[in-house]
Structure 1
Amino acid sequence: MRLTSVNDRALVRLIPETHHKPPVLRGLVESDEEAAALAELEGETSARLIAEREGTPTLDRRELVFARRLHDLALYGQSHINAAFTYTRPTGNRFNSGDRGAWYCAWDMLTSAQEVGFHRTRELTYIGRYHHEARYVELLADFIGDFPDLHGDAGHAVLDPDPEIGYPAGQLFAAGLRRNGHRGLIYPSVRHVRGRCFVAFDPGIIQNVRPGASWTLVWRGSPEFLIEG
């Protein structure tokens, strides 16, 4: 497997818009002091905040992103980065298990939309109803380094479109890469033809996170969805 040098700006990660809004509890109180008390209470059950305080069996808290000195110097997006590594599906995703997350992104928005749209369509399939709208916000980030690259290896089991096959293979593969010191992986999108994706295994390589555009994925009676600005 080859290594590819990356020095690219504005790779796109899409997150649900509800995860990008101000804290929902703030509207329940009248002062910042009361909001802080509610936030402290919420933190007792927040996987991200617990990991920031204590770490997890598979994630050292020192790997996560924190403010540099003062609160007003906090990096934009640090909570989003930390959340990507602390909130996971129980069975994991293509290149991460259920006990440690990862930052998935792509070189263009359409590829990211097809990736997140696939998962939302699966959820709609479970209830048998394809009438839905989901608003997503772009998180843009920069990356630099030399990373393993799966392009040209389309037959690799980790790229199988069936999650029951591709995910277990991909999780084992990614664990091996991490043991060998690799901090990320370039791979062809499984959901978007000619799409190019990147997964960061290490929060420390995610640079200059900032917000981008917003998009709505719309289902109108079938598994195929539209992308609207």
Structure 2
Amino acid sequence: MVIMDTPGLPALEIAQQRGYRLINSKYPPIALFEDVADESEFDILYTLQALTNPRLKNETGDLAYLAAGEIPFGIAGCSYAVAPFTHVNPQGSRFSDGTFGMMYLADEMATALAEVTYHQERYWQFIEGLKYDRLVMRSLVFIFDPAPALDALALPFSDPVYDPLSYSAARGLGRSIKATGCSALRYRSVRRPGAVCWGLFTPKGVKSVQQSAHYEFIWDGERIAKIDRIMSTQALR
């Protein structure tokens, strides 16, 4: 079965999945998303807080990117599910050209670590004179329902969608999938061969988000020389 007009990718009919994600530990949960149970409560509380909190938009992000009906109010860790869709990187990502948000999840924590290591190393390599740095990342465990989803595992690793440097083909695919209303894409990890990642086009299928460990990345001036698991955190309630 193929969903609508996507370029020949098979549909996935699978139930809830587990996924892993790392975020900078300096980003705390957004209380406004955590404190409400439904859309009506959110609208009221947002309006009230907007009167007295000038930093509200910085905290919640740009809600114009995301319909309120897509927000999974009432789940544990709601703000972590919403943030990638309201704090959109204008430079884009593999499957987004920067005009819409996406959330990327890995099949295992080792895959998430490999993906973050690659991108953080590239960032630090372009900072002239940087001899040492450290970054602490918070790990998150997601339970999500990917339906309806498409499966890019049907594409060989040699396909341009998996180009390690150019995202042109992948972004074209992402735009076409986004236009169909499809929720998720399963694809091959480029940074950890043999592993699998997910790209979510909406947070509405997320069922829960739990905090796990923290990881410290150490930059020695040339590469990330060491990654330490430094502490565990209490799960979100």
TM-score range normalised by the length of the shorter chain: 0.7 to 0.9
Residue equivalent to 1:71: none
Residue equivalent to 1:113: 113
Q: Distance in 2 between matches of 1:109 and 1:123?
A: 21
Q: Gapped runs of 5+ residues in structure 2?
A: 1-8, 32-48, 230-237
Letter of the aligned partner of 2:58 in structure 1?
A: S
Instruction: Output the TM-score relative to the length of structure 1.
Output: 0.77
1:64 matched to 2:99:
no
Q: Gapped runs of 5+ residues in structure 1?
A: 24-35, 67-73
Task: Give the one of 5, 12, 20 matched to 2:28.
Answer: 20
1:111 deviates by 0.8
1:181 deviates by 3.2
Q: Distance in 2 between matches of 1:125 and 1:219?
A: 10
1:22 deviates by 8.2
**Kept in 1: contact 2:29–2:77 (CA 8 A):** no
Greater helix proportion: 1
Residue equivalent to 2:210: 210
Q: Give the secondary structure class of the aligned counterpart of 2:15.
A: strand
Letter of the aligned partner of 1:149 in structure 2?
A: D
1:138 matched to 2:139:
yes
**Kept in 2: contact 1:6–1:143 (CA 8 A):** no
Alignment of 1:1-229 (within 5 A): 1-20=9-28, 40-43=53-56, 45-46=57-58, 48-51=60-63, 55-56=64-65, 59-66=66-73, 74-128=74-128, 129=130, 131-144=132-145, 145=147, 147-151=149-153, 152-162=155-165, 165-166=166-167, 168-229=168-229
79-88 vs 126-135, which moves further: 126-135
Name the Cα RMSD after superposition: 2.5
1:109 deviates by 0.7
Letter of the aligned partner of 2:143 in structure 1?
A: D
Q: Distance in 2 between matches of 1:22 and 1:143?
A: 20
Q: Distance in 2 between matches of 1:7 and 1:225?
A: 38
Q: Distance in 2 between matches of 1:173 and 1:50?
A: 24
Letter of the aligned partner of 2:27 in structure 1?
A: H
Q: Give the secondary structure class of the aligned counterpart of 1:19.
A: coil
